[in-house]
Amino acid sequence: MILSPGATIGILGSGQLGRMLAMAALKVGLRTHIFAPEEAAPAYDAAAARTVAAFDDEEALASFAKSADVVTYEFENVPTSTVEFLAERVAVRPGARALALTQDRLTEKTFLRDLGLKVAPFVGVEDAGALVRAVAELGRPAILKTRRFGYDGKGQSLIREGSNVAAVHRTLGSAPMILEGFVAFEREASVVAARSLEGEIAAYDFCENEHERHILARTRAPARVSAETAAEAKRIAASVLEALDYVGVLAVEMFVTRDRHGREALIVNEIAPRVHNSGHWTLEGAQTSQFEQHIRAIAGWPLWATTRRGRVEMHNLIGEDAEDWRDILAQPDLGLHLYGKLEIRPDRKMGHVTRIFPESAAPE
């Protein structure tokens, strides 16, 4: 189904990604209806309607489905049963498959490997005994992660030389886990890309990401890699989009490494089936923002150009960083984005800042 102006997009989730999706929808004459359990949240300010209910409230979901012409999600921990329930009543883009696949790190890594992409060596781990065997197989250092519900470094732990394997296993609880070989990467980078209902693909330039305390701190576009590596990164994103028959925007996070001949090589870490923090630079830094691109794709509309407008940097405003808003406003080359969160908390993403340099300016 192709949406006409005035149609309503239902969004599951009420965070800043939902807020920026709602703002992008408004730009092109579409309305949004947010469905989320929170009483107060960033996305509500920008939406025409909200339903505050649990993700398993079938009555609320059924009336949400009736109100929307298409439904999407802005975070990947929405239960797949919610999306499946909605999909029987209204188009959900991207669908339940991408969500289910990316909610489980083991299924996700297996999918990526089966697509022929390079991933870190990995083994599924059911209990402490299996972990001891897995560590013997993959060697140290290795990273133990819970299969589900991990984000921003939560639900993972490094196993070093000398680490007590059973103790590390206990810190993550009793959930099913995955052990991954440690990738000695040079940089972390990502591709944000979209696929339309017609199957057209548009990828933004490969960008590099720096994390602090496991939270994205900075993105710069383009990534400082060779032209071949940048092109390869876009090809990887396209192959993931195709394989999932995906409609909408997704992000593919990768490690840039060097092989033993000193050549750059890409290792895929994970997929986010949604607009992504490492794509915020596109708001001022590209012809179409990732948010508008996602809206266009799920509306059944053609994609628009992803052309970059110079060399772009994005800094997240985390916790108290947001108190600097006056100083940021005073600098004419900084673009301020705040998510309307009233309470500053440590590690909370409060907003972000973009800065565009001429393409010719040398990266710092």
User: What residues line the site for ligand AMP (CB under 6 A)?
Assistant: 120, 143, 150, 153, 180, 182-183, 188, 211, 214, 253, 269-270
As measured in angstroms, the least distance from the Cβ of 105 to ligand AMP is 7
Task: List Cβ neighbours of 276 (8 Å cut-off, separation of 6 or more).
Answer: 190, 192, 249, 250, 251, 290
Distance separating alpha carbons of residues 93 and 72, to the nearest angstrom: 5
Quick one: angle between helices 16-27 and 290-298, nearest 10? 70
As measured in angstroms, the least distance from the Cβ of 320 to ligand AMP is 23
Q: Which is nearer to ligand AMP, 201 or 217 (CB)?
A: 217
As measured in angstroms, the least distance from the Cβ of 181 to ligand AMP is 6
As measured in angstroms, the least distance from the Cβ of 125 to ligand AMP is 14
As measured in angstroms, the least distance from the Cβ of 203 to ligand AMP is 20
Listing DSSP states for 84-124 in one string gives HHHHTTS-BSS-HHHHHHHHSHHHHHHHHHHTT--B--EEE
Closest CA to 222 of 249, 198, 187: 187
Residue 37: cis peptide before it, omega within 30 degrees of 0: no
Q: Which is nearer to ligand AMP, 24 or 275 (CB)?
A: 275
Q: Which is nearer to ligand AMP, 29 or 139 (CB)?
A: 139
As measured in angstroms, the least distance from the Cβ of 253 to ligand AMP is 6
Q: Which is nearer to ligand AMP, 27 or 154 (CB)?
A: 154
Residue 228: Cβ within 10 Å count: 10
Q: Which is nearer to ligand AMP, 93 or 276 (CB)?
A: 276
As measured in angstroms, the least distance from the Cβ of 270 to ligand AMP is 5
Q: Which is nearer to ligand AMP, 205 or 270 (CB)?
A: 270
Task: Please give the residue whose beta carbon sits closest to ligand AMP in the complex.
Answer: 183
What value, to the nearest 5°, has the Cα angle with vertex 160 and ends 159 and 166?
A: 45
Q: Which is nearer to ligand AMP, 270 or 292 (CB)?
A: 270
Distance separating alpha carbons of residues 43 and 176, to the nearest angstrom: 33
Q: Which is nearer to ligand AMP, 51 or 257 (CB)?
A: 257
- Give the residue ranges of DSSP H helices in 172-314: 227-243, 282-285, 290-298
As measured in angstroms, the least distance from the Cβ of 43 to ligand AMP is 24
Element (H, E) at 245: none
Provide the sign of the torsion angle of the four alpha carbons 185, 229, 313, 34, taken in this order.
negative
User: Which DSSP letter does residue 197 get?
Assistant: T
